[in-house]
Structure 1
Amino acid sequence: MVWQDTYKKWSTFKTLDPKYKEELTKLADDEAALEDAFYKELTFGTGGMRGVLGAGTNRMNIYTVRKAVEGLAVYMENNISDYKDRGVAVAYDSRYMSPEFADETARVLGAHGIRAHVFESLRPTPLLSFAVRHLKAAAGIMITASHNPPEYNGFKVYNEDGGQIPPEQAEAIIAEIAKVENELAVEVEELETIRTNGLLHVIGEDVDNAYLQQLKTISNMSDSAKEQLDKLQIVFTPLHGTSHDLVLRGLDQLGFQNVHVVKEQAQPDPEFSTVESPNPEEHQAFTLAMEQGQEIGADVLIGTDPDADRLGVAVQDGKGAYQVLTGNQLGTLMLDYVLANASEDDLRNGKLVKTIVTTEMGRAVAASYGVDTIDTLTGFKYIGEKIKQFETTDEKFLFGYEESYGYLIGDFVRDKDAVQAAMIACEMAAHWRAQGKTLLEALHVLYEKHGFFLEDLHSITLKGKDGAAKIAAMMDAVRADTPQELGGLKVLAVEDYSTQTRHNLDSDTEEQLTLPKENVIKLFLEKDSWVCLRPSGTEPKIKSYYGVNSASRESSLELLEKLKADLGNYLQ
């Protein structure tokens, strides 16, 4: 069916929601906008789908949500035992249409006789992961677009282990979604009916409290660190999202007494009106926190993204200002702190799990404690999958992280958890304060010990149908004509995860890779340097990652800039 036919089906649908009918009427003469809304269906990327709100099959709306839930319900009927009584845990964030999408999810599940456990109000993504496990639900759904701009929303699916669905499971669910011929005709039940029939269970603070009890178990503060609890000054911003209550309660139960919330960003706001982007990866998100930090002389600033699965931290730089740590830097600091406080038995059997685009400094730190590192593809679903596998071996999960500000310490959650990370970041700051050091100085200690590992990420945004084609062409070009040298460094090997092969250029030999298939290319260069290319699974972007290591910060910075310039020229 061409997009014009799909558009006609929607525009002539008699019971189309009035707001979508009005939108399509306004767009009637804008062929480019209509084509973008209808030329394809939203696809599952990193654990679900994400897109711009509005009418159309390529938009997030009640009909695309219903279709996704319908496919999941049929998948559960065919693959999961006791799925009706176990039900599906559902949470949502502060974005436009999030509560409505949660209701639509419950209505479709109710039409299948499946119980929906829906939180009474907005909650963080990691709490949804926890709730799936705590309630022994058959699956979970999180309504969120994470740190995307206000016009976006999304739909993430979790399996019965509380992790984002891995590829094999995703493919099976996608196949069922594809069988839904008409998203406008998906059967739904009235909310009042499913409430009366006991198919709608509203989740309250009982799950919050259970999570907070588990949160205590990741703490391992020394007596010297505890002496800093009444001295450490913390500024916290939830960036208009979901983490406010859990982070404050978590810090309070650990004993932190001086936590100052950025008031302008404390309340949920789907417009994220005080920031250009609600993303702690971007330094502008910390502007208000830095101003408040300057006023009170804060030791550490912490900020979570709207659904609280990512944490950013800024620390004093010794020059009267604050420096935002990169995801790699913060993760490596936390890794070192966790391993330094782990038992001998845990270290003996413990594992660090990180993604292929996360700093290699983590591997060096883990090795210094005798801990092995396991690499996964990009996406925390792969880290969650590894934790599940450890349940059948004698291996123990100690820490997991990815460069995009995602961290996990306690495996009672199976996705990245900014609430956990906030606890450890503040605890770690108290520990180093007791040693007379800031987190930035502690990081320098690690650099001196392990080498000056530096990384960077560059994204090219290419929206719409034409943008997707350009991204595909870039990946094809690298595969067809792989550069032999970048930044003055020889390319030693190429790993192409779409074919699951590693090509060693010097020997002209190939090896089979064990990681799953994905549209990712990684180039290994001389001097422990590397470059990786991957299209984003959730945004219209192609991302290029860079990693270098040398004996000094200056030489690492110089090498990093050469790599970025060369690859940038190559991709033009």
Structure 2
Amino acid sequence: MDGHGIRFGTDGWRGVMCDDFVVGKVELVAQAIADYLLRARDQRPLAVVGHDTRFFAEQFAAACAGVLAGNGVRVLAPARALPTPVVAFAIGQYEANGAIMLTASHNPPVYNGIKFIPEYAGPASPRITSEIEAHLARIQPSGVRKASAFEAEECDPVPSYHEHLKELVDLDALRGLRVALDVMYGAGSGVMREVLLGAGCEVDALHEWRDPLFGGLMPEPNDANLRELKGLIASGGFDLGLALDGDADRFGVVDSNGELLSSNQVLAVIALHLLEERGMRGRIVRTVATTHILDDIASAYDVECVETPVGFKHIASEMLGGGVLLGGEESGGLSVAGHVPEKDGLLADLLVAEVVAKSGRSLGETLRRIYERFGRRVTRRIDVEYPMEAKERLLGELRERPPERIGSLGVLEVRTTDGVKYLMDRGSWILVRPSGTEPLVRAYIEARDETDFAVLEGWVTRLLGTGA
């Protein structure tokens, strides 16, 4: 549904500030959320309104709070920028009916976004999003109800969040660990340092101040954007490097030698640690685009591995059903049993730090041992511009006419959970999945060695008409 030119993606609505994302449209979305919160309620709803460190974040948050208050919703507002997972945690702490978070996560600095986090403290389900979209479609700008003057109640969920982390991570084990930290000018500033220092770590932090331009980079913890962190670690003396994206819901991990681990590698390290070292049990949930080494690890401990469509909301749905030990996605999202069903970069980073501290090994050595036991994985994602009108034709051909073989690899199974995925010999697979909002197709490739990977990569690049 498209109301007022506002389109909700996999995690709320995002747009370019001063073009699409403006106060008037933000107030429309806030009104739709207020209408959702007020539906069939006998008591006055309570909502938390948080924001990250982007330009005009406080003003957008205040606009949302004003609309909620104008509709009779009681509003709690943190006094500083906070990570998305901390705002989600605050819902349970204050027994709120939901939260609004102003963030565009890891997108470029010109973007901002708004997302609704329901009372279960995870991403809004498709049903809830559809309800909010339906409210939005009925609202006219003149129908937005705003409080003329009010002050939101101030709240600080950080101390309780810190205490909660002690239930999920052995923070005492981190004492003496030397950590290089890059919060990428984002909402993790201060919050992550406080946890690490409280655990007795030595911390050298980068970019721990507000810069709405994020140093001229996207606040995404990838190899190119973490060059300064990797350089700091390469200078010597650090046990590991940790990073967070703009709203701290995604993680980045660098080994003591300055090498960045992929999100898939981090998920494997944490999953094995929870199963083997802690002796925990429960289902492993991963998205269709995430490494199958998690399947092999789960099988070794006789636990189920569940595949979902892309988007942490699908992982959250499984977590809400109970019995999940770990949920993760290749884009850098993770949550675990006992935590809110929302991805949390701080938690993921701290669990990796626990692995390093308790094992006494570098992450590279830990990965080597994992590969010796479960086999190596070579993975890559390829993003290709592709005409919107041609996407369905591409998927139809892949579904209806799959090849019998790609090189020497036989195609064993075709899955259509989200996009089209070919499972092949020797543990290899390809997923082709179009973006729902952009003229873009993403292809994910995983193989056991470089030879098989090169064959699959060549087939994908020919399929999509690129030399990537």
Q: TM-score, normalised by structure 2?
A: 0.92
Match of 2:326 in 1: 399
1:315 is aligned to: 255
Q: Deviations over 1:8-37 (max 9, x none)?
A: xxxxxxxxxxxxxxxxxxxxxxxxxxxxxx
1:508-527 matches, within 5 Å, as 520-527=419-426
2:13 to 49, 66, 72: 49
2:455 paired residue among 562, 568, 571: 562
| TM-superposed deviation, 1:164 | 0.6
Q: Work out whether 1:268 is the aligned partner of 2:210.
A: yes
> 1:101 Cα shift?
1.5
Q: 1:426 to 1:109 in 2, by over 3 A?
A: same
The Cα of 1:444 is off from its aligned counterpart by 0.8
Find the residue that maps to 2:414 and give its secondary structure.
Answer: strand
In the alignment, does 2:72 pair up with 1:113? yes
Offset from partner CA, 1:297-354 (integer Å, 9 cap, x none)? 322111100100011111134xxxx2110000011001111222334xx42xx22121
Q: What's 2:227 paired with?
A: 287
Does residue 1:151 correspond to 2:110, yes or no? yes
Match status 1:352 vs 2:308: no
Aligned 8 A contact 1:279 1:305 in 2 = yes
For the residues of structure 1 that align with 2:358 and 2:243, how far apart are their CA atoms? Answer: 20
Equivalent residues in 2 for 1:132-143, closer than 5 Å: 132-143=91-102
Structure 2: any 5+ residue segments left out of the alignment? Answer: none
Is contact 2:3–2:137 with CA below 8 Å preserved after alignment? no
Shift of 1:474: 4.0
Return 473-482 or 118-127, whichever deviates more: 473-482
Confirm or deny that 1:254 pairs with 2:199.
yes
- Deviation of 1:268 (Å): 1.8
Within 5 Å, give how 1:302-451 maps onto structure 2: 302-317=242-257, 322-343=258-279, 346-347=280-281, 350-390=282-322, 395=323, 397-433=324-360, 437-451=361-375
Aligned-pair CA distance for 1:189: 2.2
Identify if the C-alpha distance between structure 1 residues 229 and 51 changes in structure 2 by more than 3 Å, giving closer, same or farther. same
Rounded Cα–Cα distance in structure 2 between residues aligned with 1:253 and 1:141: 29
Displacement after TM superposition at 1:493 (Å) = 2.6
Shift of the alpha carbon at 1:538?
Answer: 6.7
Superposition TM-score, scaled by structure 1 size:
0.76
**2:36 counterpart of 1:75:** yes
Do the aligned partners of 2:76 and 2:154 also contact (CA within 8 Å) in 1? Answer: yes
Partner of 1:510: none
Compare 162-171 and 536-545 and name the one that shifted more. Answer: 536-545
SS of residue paired to 2:365: helix
Deviation at 1:157, TM superposition (A): 1.3
Cα deviation for residue 446 of structure 1 reads: 0.6
Query: In structure 2, what residue type is equivalent to 1:89?
Result: V
Q: Note the C-alpha offset of 1:292.
A: 1.7
User: Distance between the aligned counterparts of 1:474 and 1:422, measured in 2?
Assistant: 38
Q: How does 1:414-563 map to 2 (within 5 A)?
A: 414-433=341-360, 437-461=361-385, 467-472=387-392, 474-479=394-399, 481-497=401-417, 520-536=419-435, 541-549=440-448, 556-563=449-456
1:352 partner SS: strand
In 2, Cα distance between the equivalents of 1:137 and 1:96? Answer: 27
* Structure 1 position 472, deviation (Å): 4.9
Match of 2:219 among 278, 281, 293: 278
Using the TM superposition, name which of 289-298 and 353-362 deviates more.
Answer: 289-298
Structure 1 residue 146: deviation in Å?
A: 0.8
Query: 1:118-197 to 2 correspondence within 5 Å?
Result: 118-180=77-139, 182=140, 184-190=141-147, 193-195=149-151
- The one-letter code sitting in structure 2 at the alignment partner of 1:524 is L
Specify the SS of the correspondent of 2:248.
Answer: coil
2:413 maps to amino acid: A
Shift of the 156–221 alpha-carbon distance from structure 1 to 2, 3 Å rule, reads closer
1:466-521 CA deviation, whole Å, 9 max, x = no partner?
x5445455445534654443344232332223xxxxxxxxxxxxxxxxxxxxx522
Q: Is the 8 A contact 1:53 1:61 kept in 2?
A: yes
Give, as a single letter, the amino acid of the residue that structure 1 aligns with 2:63. E
- Contact 1:334 / 1:424 at 8 angstroms: preserved in 2? yes
Aligned equivalents of 1:221 and 1:94: distance in 2? 27
Write the distance in 2 (CA, Å) between the matches of 1:417 and 1:368: 26
Distance 1:135 1:451, change over 3 A: same
Equivalent in the alignment of 2:175: 229
1:202 aligned to 2:134? no
Residue pair 1:80, 1:138 contacting (<8 A) in 2 also? no
- Aligned partners of 1:242 and 1:306 also within 8 Å: yes
CA distance in 2, matches of 1:160, 1:439: 37
Matched, 1:64 2:10: no
SS in 2 for 1:215: helix
The secondary structure found in structure 2 opposite 1:430 is helix
Q: Hey, what's the Cα distance between the residues in 2 that align with 1:95 and 1:443? A: 36
Counterpart contact for 1:221–1:431, Cα < 8 Å: no
Whether the 8 Å CA contact 2:249–2:344 is kept in 1: the answer is: yes
**Shift in Å, 1:277:** 2.3
Decide whether the 8 Å contact of 1:47 with 1:158 is kept in 2. no
Q: Distance in 2 between matches of 1:47 and 1:534?
A: 17
- Structure 1's unaligned 5+ residue stretches are 1-37, 498-518, 550-555
Larger radius of gyration: 1
- Give 3-state SS (helix, strand or coil) of 1:330's partner: helix
Q: Equivalents in 1 of 2:412, 2:392: separation in Å?
A: 24
> Could you say which residue in structure 2 is the equivalent of 1:22?
none
Q: Over residues 108-140 of structure 1, what are the superposed CA-to-partner deviations in whole Å (9 max), with x where a residue is unaligned?
A: 112211112222121001001101121111111
One-letter identity of the residue aligned with 1:363: D
Q: Which amino acid aligns with 1:155?
A: I
C-alpha contact (below 8 Å) 2:434/2:440 kept by paired residues: yes
Change (3 A) 1:233 1:329: same
Q: Is the 8 A contact 2:384 2:464 kept in 1?
A: no
SS in 2 for 1:50: strand
Shift of 1:217: 0.8
- The count of aligned residue pairs is 464
AA matched with 2:51: Y
2-structure distance, mates of 1:379, 1:165: 11
Query: How far apart in 1 are the matches of 2:298 and 2:412?
Result: 25
Q: Secondary structure at the match of 1:399?
A: strand
Cα distance in 1 for partners of 2:444, 2:226 equals 23
Distance 2:61 2:171 in 1: 39
Aligned-pair CA distance for 1:46: 1.1
Identity %: 26
Corresponding residue for residue 25 of structure 1? none
